[in-house]
Amino acid sequence: MKYPAFFIRKMLPVALALGTAWAARGQIGHEYGAAWAGAIGVLAVICLSGRNDWYARLPAIVALGSISWGISGVISYGAVVAYGQAGDYLNVSYGLMMLVVIGGLYGFLGGGITGLALESSSEKKTDWAALFTQLFVGAYLCWGFFIYELEWLMTPPRSEMWAGCLGASCTLGWYLYRNGYRHALRTAFFSALGAGFGFGFGNFLQRMGRSSGIDFNWWNVMEYSIGFFGGLGMAYGVFSGGHWPKGRGADKVSNNAGWVFLVLLLPMICLIQGVNTKTMIGTGTRLAVDNPASFALNWQWISWILSVISMILVGWIAYRLNFRARPFQQHHGTSLKKIVITLTIVYLAWYILISNIISATWLTARFSSQHLYWVNLVVLYFLLRGKAVAPYGLTEDGLAADVVAGSHDYPNEKPYGPTLLIAWAFVVFSILLLSYIAISCSPAKAAVQLRFFIVTLSIR
C-alpha cells in the first residue's frame, strides 16, 4: 500500500479516535478519563488490524491498553501549560519542552503496554503481575532519586509524578528490550514521539488561538492535539513494523475481567468523577439557571439514564463479539470487524455524551468544540468501514500466511533508530522555533505563572 493510502486508512482513523476521546476527556480529567480515551484509541487499532486473533482477545487487550494510557494521568501539567503562556523565551520554551516530555511519557507507557498485549503469544507469554510490580518499583525509585535526592522539580509546588512515570517508562523499555518484544518497543517509541510533539504543539496552538480573539475552547484544542498525534504515532508503530506474531489463544477469565472493567468499572468511575453535584451546580450557575441545585439533580439523572442505556448496548455488542469469535477462524474476519466497528463507535459516542452533559452543550445555542466531536465520530465511522488492507510494506496474502503459520521472523522490519533520532531532532527544533514565534506574535497571558524569574539590571 502506498503511503498516502496507509495514512488515510490506518493512521488517520486511530488519530481521530484518540484525539476526539482525549478532547472529551477534558471534561473528566485525571487518569480515569485518560484510560477511557486510551481504550477508544486501542479499539480503533484492533478494528483496523483485521486480525481475528486480536479480535478474540479484544477485551483483555483494550483493558490493558486503557490502563497503560491512563497511568500518566497522575502527572500534574497545569502549571507547565502556564509556563508556555509567558512573555519571555526561557519560560515559554521550557514549558513547551516539558509538555513534550509529559506527552512522551503518556505515549511510551500507553503504546508500549498496548503493543505488549498485542505481541503476547502462546510461545512467549507476558507475566503481567511481575511487569507491573517492576513498573511500580522503577517509578518509586526514579521519583525518589530525582525529586528527593537531586530536587529536580519540573513544576513546583505541584505534584512531581512525572518522575515516577519516567521511572516506569524506563523500566518498561528495558523489560521489552531484554525479553525481545521488538514490536511493542517500536510502538512505544513512536507513540511517545507523536504524543510528545502533540502536547507541546497543542500548547502553542492554544496560545496562538487565544491571542487571535476567537471565542473558542483553545484548551480543548491542546487536548485534541496530544490525542491526535499520539494516535498517529501508535498507529504507525503498530502497522508499519512488519509481521506481528500469531497471538495467543483467547482466555475466558481475562476477557470477562476486561469486559467488567470496560463496561462497568471504568464508566462508573468516570461518571462519579465527572458528573457529580458540585460539577453540575457549577454548570447550572454558569448557565444562570434559576435553581442550580435542581438543575444538577435533573441533569445527573439524565446522565445516569443515558449511561445505563449505553451500558446495556455495549454489553449486547460484547456478547455478540464473544459469541462470534469463539471459536474463531484466522481468515474471513469481515463479520467480526463490523461488530468491533460498532463497539468502537458506541463506546466513543458514550464518552461524548458524558462530555456533552457535563458542559450542558444541548442547553445552549452557542457553537463549541463539543459539537465537533460528533463530526469526528461520523468521519471515523466511514474511515473504519473502509476496505481492509494489509499494513504498509506487506501484501494481504503475505500477512495472512505469516499470521497463520505463527511466524516469528520479521523480514520486512527495518531499523528505526535513525528515523527516530531524526524525528526527535525535528520535534526539538520545531518546539524551540514555535516558542520564539509564540513570544513574537502573541502577547503573554496576564498574571501567568512563571518557572524562572528573569531580573534585568539597568545601569545609569
What is the per-residue pLDDT across 60-116, written as a single tens digit (0 to 9) for each? Answer: 999 999 999 999 999 999 999 999 999 899 999 999 999 999 999 999 999 999 999
pLDDT of amino acid 408:
35
Specify if 361 maps to a domain.
Answer: no
Specify if 277 maps to a domain.
Answer: no
Specify if 319 maps to a domain.
Answer: no
What does the block give as the cell for 45? 487499532
Specify if 288 maps to a domain.
Answer: no
pLDDT of amino acid 400:
39
Specify if 142 maps to a domain.
Answer: yes
Specify if 395 maps to a domain.
Answer: yes
Q: Is the pLDDT of residue 379 over 90?
A: yes
pLDDT of amino acid 401:
36
308-324 mean pLDDT? 87
pLDDT of amino acid 378:
97
Specify if 289 maps to a domain.
Answer: no
Confidence bin at 194 (pLDDT 50/70/90): very high
Domain that holds residue 24: 3-272+369-439
Model pTM?
A: 0.90
Confidence bin at 405 (pLDDT 50/70/90): very low
Structural domains of the chain, count: 1
Closest CA to 279 of 303, 307, 308, 309: 303
Confidence bin at 275 (pLDDT 50/70/90): confident
Q: Is the pLDDT of residue 197 over 80?
A: yes
Confidence bin at 320 (pLDDT 50/70/90): confident
Specify if 61 maps to a domain.
Answer: yes
